[in-house]
Amino acid sequence: MSSSLSTRLKYVSLGVLVVQTTSLVLTMRYSRTLKEDGPRYLASSAVVSAELLKILACTLLVFREHNFSVRALNQVLKEEIVNKPMETMKLAVPAGIYTLQNNLLYVALSNLDAATYQVTYQLKILTTALFSVTMLGKRLGCNQWLSLLILMAGVALVQWPAESADASQQTSLSAGFQFVGLMAVLTACFSSGFAGVYFEKILKETKQSVWVRNIQLGLFGFVFGLIGMLMYDGQRVRESGMFQGYNKITFTVVVLQALGGLVIAAVIKYADNILKGFATSLSIIMSTLISYFLLEDFNPTSVFFTGAVLVIAATFLYSLECKSATSSIKV
Ligand code: C5P
C-alpha cells in the first residue's frame, strides 16, 4: 500500500472514530432518558448482538476483499481461522481481557459516581503509552509524554463534575465502596492499555487481514459475551427471550457499537492506540458540546473550557512531534 494511501486511511479512520464515539455516547444518553413501556433491554444481550453483527460485517468485508467469491471466502476462513488454531487462540487473550474489562467497568460504575469513574478512566491514556513503549518498542519524545499528560489532565477537567452534584454524590458513597470502585477502574486502565497494544502487536507483526483478525476476536468475544449473558441474565433470557425490550434505539446502539469495533480495529491498524486516545478525547468534547446545544442537558463551565483547550493543545503538541516519532517506531 502506498504511504499516501495509508496516511489518508489513518486520518479517515481517526475521523470516523470521533464521529462514531460521539454518536454512540449521544444515542446511549438518549436511550437512557427515553421512557418506554415494558421491559428494558438487557445490556448483556446488546453486547452479544454487537459482537455477532461485527463478525457478520467483517465476513462481508473479507468477502469483498476476495471479489465476492464464495469459494475464496470459504477457503480464507478455513485456512486462516480453522486450520491455524494457534493463531486464532492468540485472540482469546484480548477478547478475554475486554470481557473482563467490561465487567470491571460495571463494578466501577456501581461503586463510584459516573464523573469520578470517567475522570479516573482517562489514566488509560498513560497505560496505553507505557504498553506501546514496552511491548512495541515505540519511542516517544519529551513533548509527546508532556502532551499525553496534558491530554489526561484536559479530559479529566472536561469531565469534572459541577460542584453541587459532586458533593451530593460523594456523601452517598462510602469509602469502602469507593475503594472497590477505584481498584476496578484502575485495573480496567491497565487491561485497556494492554489489550489494545496486544491487538496492535498482532495486527502489525503478522500478515493476516485486519478483518480476519477481527472475526477471530469477535468469535471469542461472542462466546465470552454469551457466557456472561447466561450467567447474569440467564433467568430473564429464559423467561422473555434474548431480544426483550429491543426497540429502534437499541438497534441503533448495537449497530454503533459493532461499527465501533470495526473502526477501532482500522484505527489500530492504520494509526495506533495512542492516536486512538486523542480521537476519543476529542469526541468527548464534541458530544458534550452537541448535548449542550441539542439536548440542553449540560451547562459548560469555565473548567470545561479550560479542559477542552488543554485537549486541543495536547493534540497539536503531539502531532508536531509525530513525524520524528513515527520514523522511530520499530513495528
Ligand atoms: O476503553 P477501551 O478503548 O479499551 O475500549 C475498547 C473497546 O473496543 C472494548 O469494549 C472492545 O471490546 C472494543 N474493541 C472491538 N474490536 C477491536 C478492538 C476493541 O470491539 N478490534
Q: Please, which pLDDT band fits residue 139 given cuts at 50, 70 and 90?
A: very high
Q: What local confidence, expressed as pLDDT, does residue 175 receive? A: 76
Residue 59, all three cell numbers = 465476513
Tell me if 307 CB under 6 Å of ligand 1: no
If we measure between CA atoms, which residue out of 144, 205, 203 comes closest to residue 330? 205
| pLDDT-wise least confident of 133-137, 164-168, 195-199 | 164-168
> Does residue 329 register a pLDDT over 50?
no
pTM (two decimals): 0.84
If we measure between CA atoms, which residue out of 186, 90, 189 comes closest to residue 130? 189
Q: Please, which pLDDT band fits residue 197 given cuts at 50, 70 and 90?
A: very high
- Compute the average pLDDT of residues 111-115: 78
Tell me if 161 CB under 6 Å of ligand 1: no
* Summary count for the chain: helices (H), strands (E): 15, 0
Tell me if 94 CB under 6 Å of ligand 1: no
Residue predicted with more confidence, 252 or 168 = 252
Q: What local confidence, expressed as pLDDT, does residue 300 receive? A: 74
Residue predicted with more confidence, 164 or 245 = 245
Model confidence over 176-192: pLDDT tens digits? 788 998 999 999 999 99
Residue 210, all three cell numbers = 485486519
Model confidence over 308-321: pLDDT tens digits? 999 999 988 987 75
Model confidence over 145-163: pLDDT tens digits? 999 999 999 988 887 776 5
Residue 139, all three cell numbers = 519511542
Q: What local confidence, expressed as pLDDT, does residue 162 receive? A: 63
Tell me if 265 CB under 6 Å of ligand 1: yes
Residue 249, all three cell numbers = 434505539
Model confidence over 219-262: pLDDT tens digits? 999 999 999 999 989 999 999 999 999 989 889 989 999 999 99
Top mutation candidate among 49, 90, 98, 224 for ligand 1, by most atoms within 8 Å of CB = 98
Estimate the share of the chain in helix, then strand, then coil, as percent rounded to the nearest 5: 85, 0, 15
How many CA atoms lie within 13 Å of 117's alpha carbon, on the beta-carbon side? 18
Residue 174, all three cell numbers = 462510602
What residue owns the CA closest to ligand 1's atom 14?
261
Long-range contacts of 286-295 (CB under 8 A, 24+ apart): 286/18, 286/22, 287/21, 287/22, 287/25, 287/26, 288/158, 290/22, 290/26, 291/26, 291/29, 294/26, 295/26, 295/29, 295/30
> Does residue 265 register a pLDDT over 50?
yes
- Percent of the chain exceeding pLDDT 90 equals 58
What residue owns the CA closest to ligand 1's atom 3?
192
Q: What local confidence, expressed as pLDDT, does residue 325 receive? A: 46
